[in-house]
Chains A and B, each alone.
Chain A
Amino acid sequence: MSNAVSALGNVSYNGFAQISEIGPIGMISLRAKPDVKGLDKAIKAAVGTKVPAARQMEGAQERFAGWMSPDEYLLVMPYADTGAAMAAIDKALKGQHYLAAVVSDARAVFRVTGEKADQVLAKLSPVDFANLGAQELRRTRAAQVAAAFWRDDSGYTLVCFRSVATYMMGLLSHSAMTGSEL
């Protein structure tokens, strides 16, 4: 039985771009140095990808690994898969120095879509979108809170802390109001 619900019950907003809160999505925070033996196997077993390079993501929408810092990775997967992934990580890194923690529930996830989705985020985050790589995982802030986002098919997926989901929805909606295109 799962009673898991996302922070805002998947609300949405339509302005010059579309905002929707999605999730919950499975996430694991994996802390390990890149040269730790078994890291590649652990990430492969958890999400089926290579170890991502600095600021990059490996994998596709549903399952990917992202680089968060010189000793931290974010593994993204369907919500129900974190248990098996944790077990696989523990197996691959047994005896090594690492820390893996499920953080699916600590996060709120938003999709910002539409031709001008980048303009919504450009009002909140000091990010140069012209130089944002296709596979880049951008850690930044949105107005007053920490956030991270990346490109996807029709816009961006943004992650922030769950407790500020209402604030984030307010920010994104305000920034996407029709008539305020940049």
Chain B
Amino acid sequence: MSTRLSKGGRLIDRSKVQNFTFNGTAMRGYQGDTLAAALLANDQMLVGRSFKYHRPRGIVGSGPEEPNALVNLGRAGRSEPNQRATTTELFDGLECASQNHWPSLNYDVGVINNTLARFLPGGFYYKTFMYPRAAWKHLFEPIIRASAGLGKPPQEPDADRYEQAYAFCDVLIIGGGIAGLQAALIAGTAGLRVILLEQNAHWGGRAPVDGDVVDGMPAAEWVAKALQDLDKMTNVTLRNRCTGAGVYDHGYVLADEKVADHTPGDGRPKHRLWRIRAGQILTATGAIERPLSFAGNDIPGVMLAASTRDFVVNFAVSPGDRTVIVTNNDDAYRTAIALHEAGLSVPCIVDARSTVTGDLPLRAKALGLRIATGMGIAKVSGGKRVTKVALCMQAGEGAVIEEIACEAVAMSGGWSPVVHLWSHCGGKLTWDTTHAHFRPDATRPPTGADGAAMVVALGAANGAMTAADAMVDAANGTQLALKALGFDAKPKIVSSAAPVQEAEMEPVWIMPYGAGVKLKSKMWLDYQNDVKVSDVQLAAREGYSSVEHTKRYTTLGMATDQGKLSNINGLAILADARNAEIPQVGTTTFRPPYTPVTLGALAGESRGEIFQPLRMTPMHAWHQTQGAYFEPVGLWRRPYTFPRGGETHAQSVAREVNNTRNALGLLDASTLGKIIVKGPDAGRFLDMLYTGVMSSLPIGKCRYGLMCSEQGFLSDDGVVARIDDETWLCHTTSGGADRIHAWMEDWLQCEWWDWQVYTANITEQLAQVAVVGPNARKLLEKMGGMDVSKETLPFMQWADGTLGGFAVRVYRISFSGELSYEIAVAASEGAAFWAALHAAGAELGAMPYGTEALHIMRAEKGFIMIGDETDGTIIPQDLNLGWAISKKKADFLGKRGQERTYLASEDRWKLAGFETLDGSVIPDGSYILAPGLNANGQGNTQGRVTSTYFSPTLGRGIAMGLIKGGLARMGDVVDFNTLSGAPIKAKVVDPVFYDKDGEKQNV
């Protein structure tokens, strides 16, 4: 059993007990433990079940590479699936549960998949997709869906908050081991702005555990001193618990800081996503140990050798009384020595190499440890934990020579540099035959904007596998980066590590070499996704020669660990099966993030009230107090209607329409776009932008205009007012203000750059109120201050003046068909002006109305609405707006587009009005049916509805729509389809339903 040792543990504080639960069982750990260490200390070797076969799974690693120990952490608003126990810091009160088991971790029904393993081979998913077709849907999918999977998504909103932050530096160093610290000291001393990131809570990486000696000091001591020195440098920022997650173009890096994962509920943000722009990126990300592929290498108790050492040295956790070491390199001997020094038994060091000569094996020998050379593990026995191992000759087929009882197996198949960050932005790799791994190819680095290298890999991440080599490599690499930044000074301080002589490792991809199918079917490559040596070989036999295809076919490396342990082993097996060299097979692509980044961190502050910017007019607060129901218009929130008492929206909208038509309505029209266009060439410019002529508009007058894209399609509309000789004010739609302003600037800056025109978007400078209805003039006269009579201020004119003491500009324009004034006032006075209008207008029947009443009134008048009558495929001619298109102008934007045959065709659907025969309302989106079927066997159509409302004024359904033939069809009765059944019959009529002669607005 695994347990806590009586002494030792360099990272734990035994005076601080932390209580936690696993699957409801109370357990104890210490401050400084990872959850994985604490689980092992409580003999919880079984921590989960695998994805496909529900095999028992134990802790394999001690860091971000861990594939197995994924737990559901926390509950309710803090429930998080798939949290790696090896990187989760223990805290008092932690609750966690294992995943993917039913009914319990110990007794799992799904393990039956295990016995059916031969029915779930590599490529299983693809095979069942293929044949028989019905089998996938009815047989396989239900079973797979029920049994596969890892954690469960949280059911409640996240209780925590997140944020992002930007940072800039000359040198960003990712990885706070001795290589990263060396780099930070050199760059910091050179005076550069340095950021050093470390994913763990503690610094120094592996060196303290491995017993390295730096500058004559034990590594831990040197690390402490280095941190002290760096702390004194104001140009150096240190951030631990911060993972460099992704490297992107131009020196851009995302880093995920786990601010409060270990102190949940303390009010701090849970994570902070750093968005860093660096001159040079140094990746000192270390290396990851590889498993060995022997039968039963997935049984709980089989762990990576260095991780076993981590648990012993860092957390004083024993993996079991007896640990068998199996290795192809010298490094694993450190684990044997560490276990021995901790008073634990190492019955045998099984070394696949035929001879061992390095310093470490010699030390192990001197300690009296047994070394079995040229040997391998034939098989590990045990169910939910290891009971014994059977040894065999590595060169043979697996005949058992000897059995050794043990509780744990510590394996080491060599080391792979963490090349992920180097690779994210295009850095290439080279195969290192000495260490049998891919390492960064310095001649093909990821390049920045200048075409030069922007990333330098340091230390073990660069394939410098001993402490001594890593320190030298870190110094050289840092100097390279400094040079790239224009600093050519030789580093003032360079630390060095004491060399330890290590013999060469020997690549071992299958143990034993001649293993048959039976053994290979129990050799796990990908623990999380249950991919075995036999699966990859099967894929190769079935023709999957590309590593990218094999990955997807077998799901190798596609789990949450993204193949950190399985990648190299898998492609070595593939290379062997293809009889190719490993570098020829290549690797799969490394993509960000290095380890999962929670969606909360990516969303940052964008949640709840600040999920997105909501634009509010100066009168917004008033609308809220009046109980307005808002609708989105772009990012604006506009009142849709102002329900009173128990009114439904339909009732309140009808009341607003009737009140406006019969008495007085007030509309907050502040969102209307307002763009000043000024200059000697402004008239010429507007004549190009609008389909009509704006240059001839007399000062003081208003004119309705249409804007089209170059293609001729109607893009925006609005009233233009001529302010003075050189100045026009263009009104745009509410949603179109920014777009049209950008459109104007685009033409002025890129095409007509020599025209003398300036624009200014003053949309938000002004609050605007439409005062509408028969009593509109009475209200303005009551406010007083300027002459708003028909004679002084006729229809389609504007005037400056004051009303009730407010400086205003009044436009006589109408979108409702009623007597109407649109009044602009400084936005800062908008709320006061609005309130003053309501106060003065009360006795005249003033009521606010919302966007729905606005829409209905314009539809009653047959006025088009951009976005209703238009959808990007409509030209003004379709809407019978030919009158607003100048025939005299030589050119305007869209003119040539509209001349194309398809757009000029008489056959286009054109605007008409529709009245249902029974007075009902045509459903939104309804099509006009035509006889016959089209090529797809669908009913033909001859038009569609574009605006449809119940008209309170007329007491019936009215609609506008497009129909083949347009107004020439007047009088025809046509069928509009409905979702629910029989079509609705409607008569084609003039789209102007109300006051066709415009007498009401012209009083």
Which residues of chain A have a CB within 8 Å of any CB of chain B? 1-7, 24, 29, 31-32, 71, 79, 97-99, 101-107, 119, 122-128, 130-131, 143-145, 161-167, 170-171, 174-175, 177-180, 182
Contact = CB atoms under 8 A, between A and B. Distances in A.
Contacts of B164: 123
A4 B610 contact: no
Contacts of A178: 267
Contact of B605 (A4, A97, A104, A123): A123
Contact of A166 (B614, B764, B833): B614
9 contacts: A3-B831, A32-B758, A99-B676, A99-B760, A123-B605, A143-B610, A164-B615, A179-B268, A182-B165
B617 A175 contact: no
Contacts of A124: 605
Interface stretch (B76-84, B114-122, B510-518, B821-829): B821-829
Contact of A106 (B613, B758, B764, B805): B764
A24 B166 contact: no
Interface string B602-632: 0011100110111111100000000000000
Contact of B166 (A125, A170, A180): A125
Contacts of A6: 828
A177 B764 CA distance: 30
A106 B163 contact: no
A31 B213 CA distance: 66
Interface in B612-662: 612-618, 636
Contact of A175 (B193, B605, B616, B833): B605
A49 B161 CA distance: 45
B168 A130 contact: yes
A99 B615 contact: no
B764 A163 contact: yes
B192 to A, nearest CB: 12
B269 interface: yes
Contact of A180 (B163, B609, B615, B765): B163
A113 B278 CA distance: 28
A30 to B, nearest CB: 10
A101 B762 contact: yes
Given A122-B167, A130-B193, A144-B606, A106 B827 contact: yes
Interface in B507-549: none
Given A128-B168, A179-B266, A180-B268, A103 B762 contact: yes
B832 interface: yes
A3 B680 CA distance: 36
Contacts of A128: 168, 277
B275 interface: yes
B766 interface: yes
A145 B738 CA distance: 13
Chain B interface SS verdict (over half): mixed
Contact of A105 (B269, B758, B827): B827
A126 B166 contact: yes
Q: Which 5 A-B pairs have the closest CB atoms?
A: A3-B832, A99-B758, A4-B828, A163-B615, A105-B827
Contacts of A166: 614, 616
Given A125-B166, A127-B166, A164 B613 contact: yes
Nearest to A102: B765
A97 B618 CA distance: 33
Nearest to B827: A105
Nearest to B621: A9
A13 B277 CA distance: 30
Interface string B166-177: 111000000000
A54 B76 CA distance: 53
A162 B827 contact: yes
Contacts of A24: 828
B300 to A, nearest CB: 40
B353 interface: no
B679 interface: yes
Given A2-B829, A179-B266, A31 B806 contact: no
Given A97-B758, A182-B165, 11 more contacts: A3-B828, A99-B758, A101-B762, A103-B765, A105-B828, A124-B605, A125-B166, A145-B613, A161-B764, A170-B610, A180-B268
A25 to B, nearest CB: 10
Contacts of A103: 760, 762, 765
Q: Which of A3, A4, A122, A130 has the most CB of B within 10 A?
A: A3
B861 interface: no
Contact of A174 (B163, B166, B617): B163
B639 to A, nearest CB: 15
Nearest to B274: A182
Interface in B561-609: 604-606, 609
A166 B621 CA distance: 11
B763 interface: yes
A106 B763 contact: yes
B616 A123 contact: no
B617 A163 contact: yes
Contacts of B104: none
Contact of B610 (A2, A126, A167): A167
A52 B607 CA distance: 39
B57 interface: no
Contacts of A123: 163-166, 605
Given A122-B167, A143-B606, A162-B827, A3 B833 contact: yes
Contacts of B616: 163-166
A155 to B, nearest CB: 17
A35 to B, nearest CB: 14
Contacts of A131: 168
A9 to B, nearest CB: 9
Nearest to B829: A3
B764 A162 contact: yes
A167 B806 CA distance: 28
B829 A167 contact: no
A104 B828 CA distance: 8
A174 to B, nearest CB: 5
B732 to A, nearest CB: 15
- Give the most central of B617, B680, B756, B758: most A CB within 10 Å: B758
B258 to A, nearest CB: 14
Nearest to B836: A3
Interface in B824-854: 826-829, 831-833
B805 A1 contact: yes
